Amino acid sequence: MPIREKILTTLLILSLVVNIFLLAAVLDPPEDLKSPLSRSQCDDVGPATIPSPLPPERVVESGGAASMQAPVILQRIEAGRGGPFARDRVTEEGAMVSIAVEVVPGRGRVLVQTTPLMGVVFQDAANQAVVAAQNHSCANLTASDIIFSIHGPEEVLEVDGPSAGALMATLLLSVLEGFSLDENVTVTGTIDENGLIGPVGGILVKAEAAAASGKTLLILSTGNNRVFEYREEVRTLGGLSMVRQQVVAVDAKEYIEENYGISVEYVDSIAGLIADLRLHQTPSAPHPAEIPHSADNVEGLAPDRLRIDDERDKTLASEEFPHRIWIGQG
């Protein structure tokens, strides 16, 4: 055999031996040579933490009802007289309305009373309130219908706006969880499906109305912790006095308690709100299921307009309804 062929044969044999050795090392490596990538991720960590099970859903089999007064803003709009270019006259005042919820056997629907008419924004707030209440209480409402209604202080045609969302969630939870509501407490604030409570406008007017109606506690969103007031600054120069008005932000709680005589508490979620309400609940109050449905008292309402809200109101003028009532921010 030529020398060249011998060399090639030797190299081939050595190559096969090396490949066999490497294959054996890969298939059965020594413990100290094992690659970290070949190990299970659980080998270097302690026992896995078992997550706590979610609370089981509680099927709501029996119904109930509850009601609560909410502070609102009445806007009276009078059509201008004296020509086609006359401006409408708008006046504002605070008032209280009664909002009620009733849980009855049904098919998982969220219903709103149609007298007075409920606007789209109010209906959306009602849906958000129901979702937030379900998430908080782990209640299964697929076999129940939720009915919301409003009894206004005057004749109205329509109710709209999201600022009663937190209160509607509170009412539903009082029925689902069976706690009573203190009639001296009221709430204003929006709510989302995650249970977060948002700010609303017109809180000073609402605080004045709540205090005038005998309420002792007003619960607001943490986002409403500031109000603005005008303060006069007087400067004297050469015998002349100059007065300048400055807008100053002050704490809403301090301002309302000092000027309107009603206590204020801040909350940012439905959990905090319910915790506050449980602290103030009246032990002798009847179970929410025994509270009469306020919708029974809403009868014979004539064509005017009522609106609950603050951020989404728009001034409407019409010869058809020269005098309207709505609730909201100017």
CATH number at residue 183: 3.30.230.10
- 39 lies in a domain? no
- 256 lies in a domain? yes
Contacts of 144 (CB under 8 A, 6+ apart): 60, 63, 103, 104, 105, 106, 108
- 317 lies in a domain? yes
Looking at every residue in the chain, the average pLDDT score rounds to 76
CA angle 74, 75, 78 (to 5 degrees): 140
- 212 lies in a domain? yes
Instruction: Say how far apart CA 181 and CA 289 lie, in whole Å.
Output: 12
pLDDT at 312: 37
Count up the domains in the chain and report the number: 1
- 3 lies in a domain? no
- 34 lies in a domain? no
Q: What is the pTM of this model?
A: 0.67
- 126 lies in a domain? yes
Beta bridge partners of 69: 98
Specify the higher pLDDT residue, 223 or 21. 223
Specify the higher pLDDT residue, 19 or 229. 229
User: pLDDT tens-digit profile of 71-91?
Assistant: 988 777 777 666 666 677 777
At position 86, the amino acid (one-letter code) is: A
User: pLDDT tens-digit profile of 147-206?
Assistant: 999 887 665 667 778 899 999 999 999 999 999 999 999 999 999 999 999 999 899 999
Instruction: Say how far apart CA 32 and CA 166 lie, in whole Å.
Output: 63
Q: Which of 282, 254, 65 is nearest to 184 (CA)?
A: 282
Whether cis (ω within 30° of 0) applies to the bond prior to 105 is no
Domain limits at 109? 58-327
pLDDT at 236: 81
User: pLDDT tens-digit profile of 94-151?
Assistant: 889 999 999 999 999 999 986 777 788 889 999 999 999 999 999 999 999 999 998 8
